[in-house]
Amino acid sequence: MLMREGVEVSEKAGPDDIVTAADFALSSLLCLGLAERFPDDKIVSEEDRDHYFDPSQNRRVWLIDPIDGTQNYMLDDGQYCVMVGLLVDGEPTFGFVYGPTTGKLYFGGPGYGAYGRNALADSSQIKYGPFTALTSPANARLLMGSRDRKAHPWVCNLANVSLVKTGSIGLKVGLILDGRADVFAHLSRKLKVWDTAGPAAIALGAGLDVGSLERGTRNKEGLNFPLPQVLHDSTVIMGRPGALDWCRANLLQNTLDGTENN
């Protein structure tokens, strides 16, 4: 990531939603590489001008977030990553999350397992899991984004919650894999499918819980990817086994009510 200094920056939806020349350059690089390797697959990047496609004609869809945490990238605080996820028939199947600052690469998916290695060093590959279950009354190290923390200040007052702060969603899941956090909860229903496809696949490969506070539109556990719509229509939960039950026991009612326990 050598393009930060003097890089061109522009706004997308507003001043808090920026894109840089590095986002576009990396998007192009990843799209070209995947197209060469998987010529029959659909490839969708956050930085595409048009995200519409016919999912009935595309069973295999790659979703790319070239820089998840562009604000963090511009701040050079290390809290950003590159994320790629593969959906097959709408299900997270394989994913990659790479932190350029640390060189940490997470990858995997259901049926493959979940793995990590340091791409910048000659270090051995590690396999993640199995993880101990998180029970509903237990204390939990909870990962939430800054917008969610501001919108739901009552979370800070929950007796069995310790908030853990980090940037990119991919890095949040990485902290859970590395045993430094227990649950990631996104409550505001603003995540896009490229935010979650890669991390969700890796989490599932590790045996983690992936789903939402709601039971889901398909009457089963799991995160719904509503392609060709790119905005998730639900909350998003990822965490240790038992995380979905823990979140429903500790977060659901206040989230639905909008109650602030101040």
Domain boundaries, the chain: 9-128, 140-257
Q: Which long-range contacts link 18-23 to residues 24+ away (Cβ below 8 Å)?
A: 18/70, 18/71, 18/74, 19/47, 19/70, 20/67, 20/70, 20/73, 20/74, 22/66, 22/67, 22/73, 23/47, 23/66, 23/67, 23/70
pLDDT band for position 153 (50/70/90)?
very high
pLDDT band for position 259 (50/70/90)?
very low
Kindly report whether the global pTM for this prediction surpasses the value 0.95: no
Per-residue pLDDT at 121: 83
Lowest-pLDDT range of 2-6, 104-108, 214-218: 2-6
Average of per-residue pLDDT values in the chain: 88
* CA–CA separation, 261 and 256 (whole Å): 13
Vertex 151, ends 254 and 16: CA angle to 5°?
150
Q: Which two tokens stand for residue 210?
A: 């992936």
Per-residue pLDDT at 80: 93
Taking residues 195-206, what's their average pLDDT? 98
Residue closest to 87 by CA, chosen among 46, 45, 59: 59
Same fold: 9-128 with 140-257 = no
Report the run of H or E that residue 42 belongs to, with start and end. strand 42-45
Residues 6+ apart with CB under 8 A from 260: 152, 153, 154, 254
Residues 6+ apart with CB under 8 A from 89: 59
* CA–CA separation, 171 and 77 (whole Å): 13
Kindly tell me if the per-residue pLDDT of 7 is higher than 60. Answer: no
Q: Are 61 and 44 in contact (CB under 8 A)?
A: yes
75 versus 247: the higher-pLDDT residue is 247
Kindly tell me if the per-residue pLDDT of 12 is higher than 70. Answer: no
Per-residue pLDDT at 33: 98
Taking residues 104-112, what's their average pLDDT? 97
3-state secondary structure of 203: helix
* CA–CA separation, 239 and 131 (whole Å): 10
Is the CATH code 3.40.190.80 the one for domain 140-257?
Answer: yes
pLDDT band for position 215 (50/70/90)?
low
Give 158-190 pLDDT, tens digit per residue.
999 999 998 899 999 999 999 999 999 999 999
pLDDT band for position 4 (50/70/90)?
very low
CATH topology of domain 9-128: Fructose-1,6-Bisphosphatase; Chain A, domain 1 (3.30.540)
Residues 6+ apart with CB under 8 A from 151: 187, 188
**Helices 169-177/193-205 angle, 10° precision:** 10
67 versus 12: the higher-pLDDT residue is 67
Q: Are 128 and 120 in contact (CB under 8 A)?
A: no
Beta strands in 54-152 (DSSP E): 60-68, 81-88, 91-99, 104-109, 113-118, 126-128, 140-143
The CA distances from residue 130 to 79, 127, 245, in Å, are 26, 9, 18
Per-residue pLDDT at 233: 84
Kindly tell me if the per-residue pLDDT of 252 is higher than 90. Answer: no
